[in-house]
């Protein structure tokens, strides 16, 4: 049995974009893999029609859309001219068309803006979400010389940012101030582009209902809000516009077309704040009538943590009037269905994580992207009639074959009146007569969840001889709204849950050397790592990643929005700053004695760099061993989709830190 190695993730392959063809006869998806040579990722289009077939070979095909059941459209810069434009900063998107009956992909058309999504209206018309700048909303209409002049001036201004909006940047997007997303209708023959949405609106979603394109719009106030849903419709044949629905209090998660009506997944946040799980509503698009269909208290998405995914898949879809969705339940992501009468039931329950679904009204096979049986992502087919589940791909079998994969052993503890569930990974070649170091790994979120799913870094540490343990404290996903609600209690019940679980692990496994305990976590897990080291000295070392340390200085600098710190801490910067400070790990830095490694990225706009720097500085100022490893050009997603060489360096830094302080070198 071979141990998991630090760079084994380079061989992992990831499935995204799984989508059925319009006639349901086949499906396509993107298969990606890290490329160490280019320090990036290579992506290819694949087809599944009972058999698996690779469609493209250049390694740069990371998205697609079905033009019809025979042709795929995908964006790419393949010609020298297209590549040159890309290098010069031209935002144009060039599309190629691939005939599945054979032949090379051929140039189809180019759009003079960056494209977010494409919806096919018919073989000659597309609804496109495209990017533009509010200072030049008609850039797409300019002649080549005028476009070149705009791009030249943009380069001249590259050293300056002018901000008049909040938030003004987005994680993985850079500065977003003044950036908009517009709805365009594109006619392919003869070629024409018509902008539908207003010059100072941004569009976040499109759906097709008959001859109408439904789209959600935001009027782009200076201060953005998570509340407010405005749904409009554009008849692309008659050019008529209308407002379908508007509610200033709703927080929208999704809108889906259900035959001649709409299903709206939305919450008001009046019960549990910004993390409140959505209710299911039925929306009549003719008169805007909203009817409550289901008072759902559980998550209608999957949040099981893993560092073995890349790209996104659909988690909610309607088939024959039934709403199918991935549902977080404890530490698993399962498949559920909500019926037209509002009742709900599980369709597939199995330990692991469903990462995406594809459905067709033409037959009863649901395709799943899932991580099952402590394996990596694979494609599965589920028969809705018999509930038979079949694995149809084996892309990652060789990655884990003959390797030690530690099976998560469940363990629960009673803490603060709650049952807290978690798991323990045994070290490779485990001998009950020996003693071992251990690592507590804390999930992000906080409204995320850990489960019995393959996690590369945890398996690496288990292969190196560590116990690894993790749990789902209050504040996490997979249970109801009340469990997920820790507003005003950050560092309270959740911290006690983690410590009680740690005690339970030590009691259940006396082979763990309590003097060689490590702790780590990222995002909320980074916040909690900072909190832990300020409230206990039981850990010999810590690794705090992409963390929050100071809720006062966090105000207004995160892409989440200015509301988040106040919402989650039940406190106001203006009226109760002392409560924000009370929940800030930095307040307790004087108590820290734990050597701590800090991992942060300079383009992390979710938990900005200054948060990690403040905690790091407080430790160095007091003479506590500390180290900061800063990654240039990376963002909040470093551990999951960062450049491969950066991911290797990050995990090397953390692992070496643990090795140093568990006295194993």
pLDDT tens for 377-408 read 999 999 999 999 999 999 999 999 999 999 99
Q: For residue 85, what pLDDT is reported?
A: 87
Average of pLDDT values for 422-428? 98
User: Is pLDDT at 437 greater than 80 in this prediction?
Assistant: yes
Do β-strands 179-188 and 125-133 pair in parallel, antiparallel, or remain unpaired? Answer: antiparallel
Q: Average pLDDT of the chain? A: 96
Q: For residue 363, what pLDDT is reported?
A: 87
Count of beta carbons in the 10 Å neighbourhood of residue 212: 20
Question: What tens digit of pLDDT does each residue of 567-607 get?
Answer: 999 999 999 999 999 999 999 999 999 999 999 999 999 99
Question: What tens digit of pLDDT does each residue of 61-109 get?
Answer: 999 999 999 999 999 999 999 998 888 889 999 999 999 998 999 999 9
Average of pLDDT values for 407-426? 98
User: Is pLDDT at 479 greater than 80 in this prediction?
Assistant: yes
Contact 394, 373 (CB under 8 A): no
- Record the tokens describing residue 102, joined without a space: 């054979």
User: Is pLDDT at 215 greater than 90 in this prediction?
Assistant: yes
- Record the tokens describing residue 357, joined without a space: 């679904």
With a CB cutoff of 8 Å and minimum separation 6, the contacts of 350 are 332, 334, 372, 389
Nearest 5°: the CA angle 493, 496, 499 is 155
Question: What tens digit of pLDDT does each residue of 133-144 get?
Answer: 999 999 999 998
* Cis omega (within 30 of 0) for bond into 167: yes
Average of pLDDT values for 398-420? 98
Using 50, 70 and 90 to split pLDDT, how confident is the model at 347? very high
- pTM, to two decimals: 0.97
User: Is pLDDT at 561 greater than 90 in this prediction?
Assistant: no
Do β-strands 418-425 and 279-283 pair in parallel, antiparallel, or remain unpaired? Answer: unpaired
Q: Which domains does the chain have, with CATH numbers?
A: 404-661 (3.40.50.1820)
The DSSP element (H or E) to which 651 belongs, if any, is helix 644-661
Q: For residue 88, what pLDDT is reported?
A: 84
Nearest to 204 by CA among 186, 174, 175, 224: 224
Using 50, 70 and 90 to split pLDDT, how confident is the model at 210? very high
Q: For residue 664, what pLDDT is reported?
A: 55
User: Is pLDDT at 43 greater than 70 in this prediction?
Assistant: yes
Question: Tokens 């690592």, residue?
Answer: 439
Average of pLDDT values for 267-272? 96
Average of pLDDT values for 346-372? 97
Q: What percent of the chain has pLDDT over 70?
A: 100
Average of pLDDT values for 190-201? 93
With a CB cutoff of 8 Å and minimum separation 6, the contacts of 41 are 32, 33, 34, 35, 62, 310, 641, 644
Query: Which string of b and e fits 358-377 if b means at least 16 CB within 10 Å?
Result: bbbeeeebbbbbbbbebbbb
Q: For residue 2, what pLDDT is reported?
A: 97
Q: What percent of the chain has pLDDT over 90?
A: 93
Identify the residue with better confidence: 151 or 664: 151
Alpha carbon distance 142, 150 (integer Å): 9
Q: SS3 string of 89-108?
A: CCCCEEEEEEECCCCCCEEE
Q: For residue 256, what pLDDT is reported?
A: 98
With a CB cutoff of 8 Å and minimum separation 6, the contacts of 372 are 350, 351, 352, 378, 380, 391
- DSSP output for 494-538: HHHHHHHHHHHHHHH-TTEEEEEEEEEEETHHHHHHHHHHTT---
CA 389 to chain centre: 26
Q: For residue 665, what pLDDT is reported?
A: 47
CA 393 to chain centre: 23
Alpha carbon distance 194, 203 (integer Å): 15
Contact 651, 6 (CB under 8 A): yes
């Amino acid at each position: 049995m071979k141990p998991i190695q630090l760079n084994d993730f380079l061989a992992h392959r990831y499935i995204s974009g799984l989508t059925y063809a319009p006639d349901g006869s086949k499906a396509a998806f993107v298969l990606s893999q890290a490329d160490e040579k280019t320090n990036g990722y290579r992506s290819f289009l694949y087809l599944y029609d009972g058999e698996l077939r690779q469609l493209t070979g250049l390694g740069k095909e990371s998205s697609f859309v079905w033009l019809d059941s025979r042709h795929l459209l995908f964006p790419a810069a393949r010609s020298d001219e297209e590549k040159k434009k890309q290098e010069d900063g031209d935002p144009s998107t060039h599309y190629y068309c691939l005939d599945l009956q054979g032949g090379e992909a051929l140039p189809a058309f180019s759009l003079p803006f960056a494209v977010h999504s494409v919806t096919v209206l018919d073989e000659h018309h597309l609804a496109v979400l495209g990017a533009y700048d509010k200072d030049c909303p008609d850039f797409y209409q300019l002649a080549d010389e005028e476009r070149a002049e705009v791009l030249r001036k943009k380069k001249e201004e590259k050293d300056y940012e002018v901000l008049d909006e909040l938030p003004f940047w987005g994680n993985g997007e850079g500065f977003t101030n003044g950036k908009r997303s517009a709805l365009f209708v594109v006619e392919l023959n003869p070629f024409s582009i018509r902008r539908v949405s207003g010059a100072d609106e941004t569009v976040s979603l499109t759906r097709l209902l008959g001859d109408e394109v439904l789209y959600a719009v935001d009027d782009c106030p200076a201060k953005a809000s998570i509340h407010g849903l405005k749904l409009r419709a554009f008849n692309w044949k008659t050019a008529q516009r209308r407002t379908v629905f508007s509610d200033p209090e709703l927080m929208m998660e999704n809108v889906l077309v259900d035959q001649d009506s709409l299903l709206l997944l939305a919450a008001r946040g009046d019960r549990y704040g910004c993390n409140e799980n959505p209710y299911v509503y039925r929306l009549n698009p003719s008169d805007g009538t909203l009817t409550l269909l289901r008072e759902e208290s559980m998550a209608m998405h999957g949040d099981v943590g893993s560092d073995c995914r890349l790209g996104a898949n659909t988690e909610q879809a309607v088939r024959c009037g039934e709403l199918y969705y991935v549902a977080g339940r404890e530490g698993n992501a399962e498949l559920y269905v909500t019926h037209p009468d509002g009742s709900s039931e599980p369709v597939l329950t199995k330990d692991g994580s469903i990462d995406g679904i594809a459905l067709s009204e033409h037959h009863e096979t649901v395709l799943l992207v899932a991580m099952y049986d402590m394996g990596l992502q694979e494609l599965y087919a589920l028969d809705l009639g018999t509930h038979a589940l079949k694995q149809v791909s084996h892309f990652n079998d060789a990655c884990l074959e003959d390797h030690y994969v530690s099976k998560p052993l469940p363990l629960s503890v009673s803490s603060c009146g709650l049952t807290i569930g978690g798991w323990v990974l045994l070290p490779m070649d485990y001998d009950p007569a020996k003693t071992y170091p251990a690592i507590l790994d804390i999930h992000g979120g906080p409204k995320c969840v850990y489960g019995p799913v393959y996690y590369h870094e945890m398996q690496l540490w288990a292969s190196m001889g560590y116990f690894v343990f993790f749990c789902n404290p209050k504040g996490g996903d997979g249970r109801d709204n009340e469990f997920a609600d820790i507003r005003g209690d950050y560092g309270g019940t959740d911290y006690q849950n983690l410590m009680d679980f740690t005690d339970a692990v030590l009691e259940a496994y006396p082979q763990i050397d309590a003097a060689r305990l490590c702790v780590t976590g990222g995002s909320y897990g980074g916040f909690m790592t900072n909190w832990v080291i300020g409230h206990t000295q039981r850990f010999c070392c810590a690794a705090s990643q992409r963390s929050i340390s100071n809720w006062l200085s966090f105000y207004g600098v995160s892409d989440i929005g200015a509301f988040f710190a106040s919402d989650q801490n039940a406190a106001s910067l203006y009226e109760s700053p002392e409560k924000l400070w009370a929940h800030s790990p930095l307040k307790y830095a004087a108590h820290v004695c734990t050597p701590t490694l800090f991992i942060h990225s300079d383009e992390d706009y979710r938990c900005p760099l200054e948060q990690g720097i403040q905690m790091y500085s407080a430790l160095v100022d007091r003479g506590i061993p500390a180290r900061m490893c800063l990654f240039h050009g990376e963002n909040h997603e470093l551990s999951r989709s960062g450049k491969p060489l950066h991911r290797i360096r990050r995990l090397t830094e953390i692992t070496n830190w643990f090795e140093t302080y568990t006295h194993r070198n």
